[in-house]
Amino acid sequence: MRHLKLKIAYDGTDYVGWQVQHNGVSIQQRLEEGWTAVTGETTRITASGRTDSGVHALAQVCSVATESQLTPETLVRALNAETPYDVAVLKVEEAPDDFHAIRDAIQKTYCYYVQYGRIQNPLRLRTCWYVPGDIDIQAMQEAAIHLTGELDFASFQTTGAERNTTIRNVSQLEIEPEPMDGFPGLKITITANGFLYNMVRNIVGTLIRVGKNSNDAQWVKWVLDQQDRQVAGQTAPAHALYLHHVV
């Protein structure tokens, strides 16, 4: 039995998320169907994280156990021939026998893209969140300082996937200008040792309130201290979120 590590990218627009579900087609389903077509095996492919419906990935990491003797290079070519155009296998490599994509993930980075201004960019409807009007990026940067470090992020967890603890260590939270085809925009990058359900999107929605001057930077610290999801900002739309990379 061989154990392999896969790195894949996908546009999540037309999928119900990573995990196989009964209410639609998932990334996992399409990848496993491709695996069966290539190797003849029916097996489970495990990803480092279950991205939600509409969320994209630039470098999702997966683990799989197989009896196939196809080389990693052959598997890349064959899987890409058997998966849809919006799912790409970037790399396949040998892994230790005990490798597990979820258990061995020690850090993940997500990026979220926002386009703002008076006019919406029609070319980015599927890939970024349009927020009308101006945004104060500096105010968002000041607010982000309060969300960096080992903290209790209970205020940013959507109910539905309870965890043993809501404490997470956010090592990076950066907001920087990101022009989009001449339209004003920004990118929010967040790295942590793990994430609660909808944590990134809830943080983004909260920071946008600061950027729109509905609340000041200190308000974000107050939200964090309340440990109450009801006091934070909205859950930002899924279609502008990308799993950037996994360590």
Q: Other CB atoms closer than 10 Å to residue 122's CB: what's the count?
A: 9
pLDDT of residue 230 exceeding 80, the answer is: yes
The arithmetic mean of pLDDT across residues 13-21, rounded, is: 95
- Residue that has been written with the tokens 């703002």 in this structure: 116
**Per-residue pLDDT, 175:** 98
pLDDT single digits (tens) 45-79: 999 998 999 999 999 999 999 999 999 999 999 99
Between CA 48 and CA 33 the distance in angstroms is 19
pLDDT of residue 115 exceeding 80, the answer is: yes
Instruction: Name, in order, each residue with C-beta under 8 angstroms of 145's C-beta and a sequence gap of 6 or more.
Output: 217
The full set of domains in the chain, from first to last, is 2-94 (3.30.70.580), 108-246 (3.30.70.660)
- Residue that has been written with the tokens 């109450």 in this structure: 228
pLDDT single digits (tens) 124-177: 999 999 999 999 999 999 999 999 999 999 999 997 666 789 999 999 999 999
Measured in whole angstroms, how far is the alpha carbon of residue 114 from the centre of its chain?
A: 15
Active site residues: 52
Contact (Cβ atoms closer than 8 angstroms) between residue 126 and residue 13: yes
91 forms beta bridges with 7
Q: What distances in angstroms separate CA 188 from CA 69, 114, 116, 238, one per listed residue?
A: 41, 8, 14, 14
Does the pTM exceed 0.85? Answer: yes
**Per-residue pLDDT, 68:** 96
**Per-residue pLDDT, 164:** 85
